[in-house]
């Protein structure tokens, strides 16, 4: 039986857990060879095992998406290991800096954007030469928080808005090379991005949108698979909303003012580093 990604090669950042892991396993099961990229080596190794158990080929590449040389090495690994690159899924992310604008330092702004926006830029930039001959699909994880104010922490939301616009600009520029560029805007997904998952978190998420269940990593992986496959060959420059109807109802999580996002202060890094 033919897979939807037979003979394609994909790199996926942030693939040690959550949406990235689900996408990697699903891609592998549909015939793709996958380079699993993350800072979390244990989680990355577990993803590689799951990909292989699902009948696919996969290798792990330790990658900090905020470091350009790491992204260059990631793309080079795909080419050396599997001979080509067809799909790049810029998925790595974290919450980043929290707090009122007047209390956020330039360093916190920069470190948040380095992962959430600059890392996407690097992923697009270094995929272009590898995809130019045969075309390809570049997918990035944005967020509904980037579409309207009050749906997420301020700096996180600003970075995700940048991902949406960068997606549109890159799609226009790269269409001549048959490189499609799209992003996915998840709603409330039950992943470890903000720390340990809990039933309480899932219950809150389940009540936040018309479809009364929390979003799951595989909901995003299914959209990523569609955008990676030839089924979406005439789709580029889009921000695909996958949110259980949240944006259709257009209300924010929790307090309607969005003040919950400025009541906490600090910095939330990758979930596997939280203790």
Domains held by the chain: number: 1
Look at residues 59, 68, 53 and name the one whose alpha carbon lies nearest to residue 37: 59
> What CATH number does residue 206 fall under?
3.40.50.720
Those residues with Cβ within 8 angstroms of residue 171's Cβ, 6 or more apart along the chain or in another chain:
180, 181, 182, 236, 237, 238
Q: Is 32's pLDDT higher than 90? A: yes
Residue 113 belongs to some domain of the structure: yes
Residue 258 belongs to some domain of the structure: no
Task: Clarify whether 156 is annotated catalytic.
Answer: yes
Q: Is 219's pLDDT higher than 70? A: yes
Distances (CA, A) of 212 to 120, 202, 215, 263: 31, 10, 9, 27
Residue 249 belongs to some domain of the structure: no
Residue 250 belongs to some domain of the structure: no
Residue 66 belongs to some domain of the structure: yes
Q: Which two tokens stand for residue 271?
A: 């979930």
Residue 211 belongs to some domain of the structure: yes
Average pLDDT over residues 212-217: 92
pLDDT more than 90, % of the chain: 80
pLDDT value, residue 255 = 40
Q: Which two tokens stand for residue 49?
A: 């095992």
Structural domain for 205, as ranges: 9-241
Largest CA distance in the chain: 57
Spot the catalytic one: 27, 122, 156, 253.
156
- Collapsing DSSP to helix, strand or coil, 53 comes out as helix
pLDDT single digits (tens) 166-177? 999 999 999 999
Those residues with Cβ within 8 angstroms of residue 155's Cβ, 6 or more apart along the chain or in another chain:
96, 97, 104, 108, 109, 112, 113
Q: Is 257's pLDDT higher than 90? A: no
- Higher-pLDDT residue of 270 and 261 is 270
Contact between 26 and 225 under an 8 Å Cβ cutoff? The reply is yes
CA angle 7, 178, 166 (to 5 degrees): 110
- Torsion angle of alpha carbons 243, 244, 245, 246, nearest 10°? -50
Look at residues 86, 96, 87, 144 and name the one whose alpha carbon lies nearest to residue 117: 96
Residue 1 belongs to some domain of the structure: no
pLDDT value, residue 57 = 98
Q: How confident is the model at residue 198 (pLDDT cuts 50, 70, 90)?
A: low
pLDDT single digits (tens) 185-195? 999 998 876 55
Phi, psi dihedrals of residue 112, rounded to the nearest 5°: -70, -50
pLDDT single digits (tens) 140-160? 999 999 999 999 999 999 999
pLDDT value, residue 237 = 98
Residue 144 belongs to some domain of the structure: yes
């Amino acid at each position: 039986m033919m897979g939807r990604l037979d003979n394609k090669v994909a790199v996926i950042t942030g693939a040690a857990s959550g949406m990235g892991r689900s996408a990697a396993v699903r891609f592998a099961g549909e015939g793709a060879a996958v380079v699993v990229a993350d800072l979390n080596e244990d989680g990355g190794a577990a993803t590689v095992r799951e990909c292989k158990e699902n009948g696919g080929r996969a290798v792990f590449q330790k990658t900090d998406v905020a470091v350009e040389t790491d992204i260059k090495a990631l793309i080079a690994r795909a080419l050396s290991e599997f001979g080509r690159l067809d799909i790049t899924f810029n998925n790595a992310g974290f919450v980043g800096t929290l707090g009122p604008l007047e209390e956020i330092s330039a360093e916190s702004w920069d470190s948040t954007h380095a992962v959430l926006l600059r890392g996407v830029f690097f992923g697009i930039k270094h995929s272009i030469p590898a995809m130019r001959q045969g075309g390809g699909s570049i997918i990035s994880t944005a967020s509904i928080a980037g579409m309207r104010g009050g749906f997420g922490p301020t700096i996180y939301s600003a970075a995700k808005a940048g991902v949406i616009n960068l997606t549109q600009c890159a799609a226009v520029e790269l269409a001549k090379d048959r490189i499609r560029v799209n992003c996915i805007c998840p709603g409330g997904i039950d992943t470890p991005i903000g720390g340990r998952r809990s039933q309480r978190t899932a219950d809150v998420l389940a009540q936040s949108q018309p479809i009364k269940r929390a979003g799951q990593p595989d909901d995003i992986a299914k959209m990523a698979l569609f955008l990676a496959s030839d089924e979406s060959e005439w789709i580029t420059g889009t921000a695909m909303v996958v949110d259980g109807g949240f944006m259709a109802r257009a209300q924010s999580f929790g307090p309607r003012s969005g003040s919950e996002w400025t009541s906490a202060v600090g910095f939330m890094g990758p979930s596997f580093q939280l203790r």
